[in-house]
Amino acid sequence: MKTLLFCFAFWSVGLFASAQEASRPEAVQESQFKRPQPKHRTSQRVPDTWLGFGHDDHPSIRGATYLMKPEEIRAMPLRRKNGSNQEPSGYPKGSGLRIVGTGHSWMRPGYGTLPHIARAAGLEQRMRLNTRGGEAGGARMMWELENGILSGQGKPFPVCMAAITSGQWDVMLWGGYTNDRPEYYFGWIDFCLKYNPKMKFYCFNGWPQWAHGFAEGDSEPRIENYRAFAKKRSRAVTTKLVSKIDERYPGKFHILPTNEAMLAALELYFEGKLPGIKGLNRRVDGKTPSIWSDGGHLGKGMEWLEGYVFYAALYEKSPEPITRRPPKKMLSAELDNVFRKIAWQAVVNNPLSRVTDKNGNGIGDEIERSKEK
């Protein structure tokens, strides 16, 4: 099933003066530089109190998908261009994880490469995704869409919810968004646990964008600015989101540390140690491959870094021992090695991934303990 629509707005990028102005004194040229601003990850205003969770009897919520019987949910028609209905709602337990997920275009790289990585590791992985671009793909609006409430009023589209009712899923993933609230996830988690009591939950924590490299007065991006943003983002996720979700579901909610992995890649780039990556922003630098294709979305080859973070966090194993590699036209072996190492280090060094590797053998401690029993 492919319901992947991705439509992020692009960066507004200030440029230096035109060629006619090139002969002006340097100070004048610098005064014409406009500091780039990340404009496309601001959140829509959401009323307090948000009705999507904890208001079952409100008129706006009556008829929501989550209030229906499981057989009714699975029988709901899904809007398909070709008129077909849906994939199987569940799968028997196999060698790989059974994953349902929502998200936006920043999740697309991981969703696209994770199945290939899992297959290369000898795992049979199942995925059922429902995604849209921008904030429409965030946890809140996807909950509203699948339930046919609020922004999705009268148009339920329960791709993930229909599957969840089968009780044959292990993991749910989301793409986090600016100003997320814990209650945006409560409804999803309650619904999942009702049918899949052992299910685990993961949300990515984003990454710095090209414009975050510019502080006031900077005419070029600097690594210290990316560090500052990544640290701020990590703190916001920890204090405003995970801590509150943990109070309700202790140990169930995990972070996919894409933020830390991207910062590690940026560190190497600024040191000249990220093999084959020629620029930061392809749209501005005109170089490819670059870290970002347009200032926010990942550039060519970078999708494998996100996929390795997903694999390392979900399977609690380092991707480094996997012998099969991506096609050379997509990613060089040298850069592939770097990405695998970055991904594992990002996962084991972020306590919110809940993956540890105390003996450094590339296998999560919890996985090893389970094998010993």
Count of C-beta atoms within a 10 Å radius of residue 254: 21
Query: Tens digit of pLDDT for each residue in 204-256?
Result: 999 999 999 999 999 999 999 999 999 999 988 888 899 999 999 999 999 99
Query: Tens digit of pLDDT for each residue in 107-132?
Result: 999 999 999 999 999 999 999 999 99
Predicted local confidence at residue 15, as pLDDT: 26
Count of C-beta atoms within a 10 Å radius of residue 133: 17
Predicted local confidence at residue 86, as pLDDT: 61
- Asked if the model's pLDDT at residue 308 lies above 80, the reply is yes
| Alpha carbons 209 and 42: distance in angstroms, whole number | 13
Q: Which amino acid is at 120?
A: A
Query: Tens digit of pLDDT for each residue in 248-298?
Result: 999 999 999 999 999 999 999 999 999 999 999 999 999 999 999 999 999
Q: Catalogue all structural domains in the chain, each as residue range(s) with its CATH number.
A: 44-372 (3.40.50.1110)
Predicted local confidence at residue 287, as pLDDT: 95
- Region 136-157: what's the mean pLDDT? 96
Predicted local confidence at residue 239, as pLDDT: 80
Share of the chain above pLDDT 90, in %: 80
CB 179 within 8 A of CB 98: no
| Alpha carbons 269 and 103: distance in angstroms, whole number | 28
- Asked if the model's pLDDT at residue 203 lies above 70, the reply is yes
Predicted local confidence at residue 80, as pLDDT: 55
pTM confidence score: 0.89
The number of C-alpha atoms within 13 Å of 263 and in the hemisphere containing its C-beta is 25
Helices (H) and strands (E) in the chain, counts: 13, 7
Residue 254: in which H helix or E strand, if any?
strand 253-256
**What's the token pair of residue 76?**
């709901």
Predicted local confidence at residue 41, as pLDDT: 60
Between CA 23 and CA 30, with CA 26 as vertex, the angle to 5 degrees is 115
Q: Which amino acid is at 19?
A: A
- Residue with tokens 């904030």, as numbered in its chain: 135
| Alpha carbons 285 and 13: distance in angstroms, whole number | 12
CB 118 within 8 A of CB 130: no
Predicted local confidence at residue 38, as pLDDT: 80
- Asked if the model's pLDDT at residue 82 lies above 60, the reply is no
**What's the token pair of residue 227?**
């560090």
| Alpha carbons 95 and 172: distance in angstroms, whole number | 17
β-partners of residue 292 are: 281, 298
- Residue with tokens 């995990």, as numbered in its chain: 254
Look at residues 207, 185, 253, 40 and name the one whose alpha carbon lies nearest to residue 109. 207
| Alpha carbons 77 and 95: distance in angstroms, whole number | 30
| Alpha carbons 185 and 54: distance in angstroms, whole number | 12
Predicted local confidence at residue 230, as pLDDT: 96
Contacts of 220 (CB under 8 A, 6+ apart): 213, 214
CA separation, residue 245 to residues 28, 55, 106, 201 (Å) = 51, 18, 23, 11
